[in-house]
Amino acid sequence: MEHLQESFFLFSAFTLAGTSVITARFVTHHVGTFTITVVSMFFAILCLAPLCGRKLPHAIGTMDKKQWLMLLLQALFGVFLFRMFLLEGLLHTSAAEAGILTGATPAITTILAWVLLKEHANKKTFAGILCTVGGILLVQGIVTKGSDFASEHFWGNMLVLFAAASESLFNIFSRMNSLKTDEAEKEPLDPRVQTLLVSAMALGLCLVPALFEHPLVSLTTIGLVQWSALAWYGAIVTALSFICWFAGIKRCSAYTAAAFSGMMPFTALILSVWVLGEHAGWEQWSGGVLIMLGMILIGLRDGKRDDQSERDLSIILSDNVHYDRR
């Protein structure tokens, strides 16, 4: 039952996160990149503050420097850099293509978990990585002769891939934070409190850059559609999605989280065609299928190997704790 709950939370988190590409499309040409993040974080905090109540001051009083640092890293990579790269990338590519390319997140997360966290990777995992790389190359138009897709959208797609890498680092840091909390036998932060703190840090990181975008001028000229998009970006894409993420990542492995992150490109591709009316050619659909296949292969891991990965990672974190104490 606990496994099903974690799966539901992760599925919900990445499905909601996949709407970020579509939501951003409504505002990227009207409001600056950092202004979008600041306003959406404000909406997120506005929704989260009443839900946290007394848990917030209690959590702040019990957190140590390492926990604060880990939350700052999550805010930096999961919000600040992810949205900066994604929003800038959407200025130079389509929402459908951007949505597909966020499907690189499972493969990048898997590679980082293998290299940084020393988690075991089986043949299916490596096959999933190869499928993801093949899908990206197909979407990029590199493997099709006579395609001008690469030259037209190359830099926008590269920025989206940087966003996927930032999301992957966010996944890794979140998992490390959860395991370090278990190792220290501390009470984990409430997902609502954790989301609020990460949102507040992200707002602080974006505040100064947003001032150079003349936010008051741009915000006074947008209409109801853009304000609704900003509110959705804050309340749903940030607040609700992050709550589901922090609730689901507590007990699952980094590979499981990587597999579910493939819901982002699937959701984004479907909505970009359905809501925005964008056209996706055979290269995009084929690349999307390959990336989704990679997600499935990465997720098809032997349970014993996952358990072993958890034990190995716990040992690594335990050694780091002892080393720090020395």
Q: Measuring CA to CA, how many Å separate 203 from each of 15, 21, 44, 57?
A: 23, 19, 10, 19
Closest CA to 23 of 249, 220, 309, 238: 238
pLDDT at 298 (0 to 100): 67
pLDDT at 72 (0 to 100): 94
DSSP letter string, 87-152:
HHHHTTS-HHHHHHHGGGHHHHHHHHHHHTS-----HHHHHHHHHHHHHHHHHHTTTSTT--HHHH
Query: SS3 breakdown of the chain: % helix, strand, coil, rounded to 5?
Result: 80, 0, 20
Which residue, chain included where needed, has tokens 């370090």? 180
pLDDT at 148 (0 to 100): 47
Q: Which two tokens stand for residue 269?
A: 């591709």
Which residue, chain included where needed, has tokens 């002892």? 322
Rg (CA), the chain: 19
Q: Which two tokens stand for residue 311?
A: 């034990």
Beta-carbon contacts of residue 294 (< 8 Å; ≥ 6 apart)? 103, 106, 107, 127, 128, 129, 130, 131, 132, 135, 262
Q: Measuring CA to CA, how many Å separate 81 from each of 54, 69, 118, 251?
A: 31, 16, 25, 26
> Which DSSP symbol is given to 252?
S
Q: Which residues of 306-317 are buried (b: 16+ CB within 10 A; e: fewer)?
A: beebbeebeebb
- The alpha carbon dihedral of 50, 54, 55, 61 has a sign of positive
Give the C-alpha separation, 179 to 321, whole Å. 12
DSSP letter string, 266-313:
HHHHHHHHHTS-----HHHHHHHHHHHHHHHHHH---HHHHHHHHHHH
Closest CA to 44 of 196, 170, 210: 196
- How many C-beta atoms lie closer than 10 Å to residue 171's C-beta? 27
pLDDT at 308 (0 to 100): 47
Whether the CB-CB separation of 217 and 87 falls below 8 Å is answered with no
pLDDT at 144 (0 to 100): 58
Q: Which two tokens stand for residue 87?
A: 């929003």
> Which DSSP symbol is given to 28?
T
Give me the tens of pLDDT residue by residue for the chain, a chain 326 residues long. 666 777 788 889 888 988 988 898 899 889 999 999 999 999 999 999 999 988 999 889 888 888 899 899 999 998 999 999 988 988 888 777 787 777 777 778 878 877 877 767 677 777 877 887 777 767 655 555 544 445 567 888 899 899 989 988 888 887 777 666 666 666 778 889 989 999 999 999 999 999 999 999 999 999 999 999 999 999 999 999 989 988 887 767 666 777 777 677 778 878 888 887 877 677 777 877 887 787 777 666 544 444 444 444 343 334 433 333 33
Q: Which two tokens stand for residue 299?
A: 């997720």
pLDDT at 313 (0 to 100): 39
Give the C-alpha separation, 173 to 113, whole Å. 10
- The alpha carbon dihedral of 151, 152, 156, 161 has a sign of negative
